[in-house]
Amino acid sequence: SAVISQKPSRDICQRGTSLTIQCQVDSQVTMMFWYRQQPGQSLTLIATANQGSEATYESGFVIDKFPISRPNLTFSTLTVSNMSPEDSSIYLCSVPMGQGARETQYFGPGTRLLVL
């Protein structure tokens, strides 16, 4: 398993501003994932962050809105840019652990964002 921490745990922001969320893992991992969980909803994958390369974004998510950094194998940041109330969500990072069919994801505690 992995121990994952996120900062901040929650924030209230004004529309038009940006927030950077940090994700720290207690072991070196090649891949990290960023998810969004809107109120009462399941998880939607935003992007996959690989160390040493550009993040890969899912349909509906773009780098200008959600820039990601991955400076080393234990750390990543997700920025939510030019925020609007529709960006109010829980943002989660996760890392895959295990091999093959037994690979599973371990999640951070999430960052709860409210945009006014």
20 lies in the site for other proteins, by CB under 8 A: no
107 lies in the site for other proteins, by CB under 8 A: yes
41 lies in the site for other proteins, by CB under 8 A: yes
Pick from 7, 45, 73, 79: which binds other proteins (CB under 8 A)? Answer: 45
- Cα dihedral 100→106→107→108 (10° resolution): -130
**Sign of the alpha-carbon dihedral angle for 13, 15, 20, 22:** positive
**Total interface residues for other proteins by CB under 8 A:** 25
43 lies in the site for other proteins, by CB under 8 A: yes
Cα 101 to Cα 82: distance, rounded to the nearest angstrom: 39
Pick from 64, 85, 100, 116: which binds other proteins (CB under 8 A)? Answer: 100
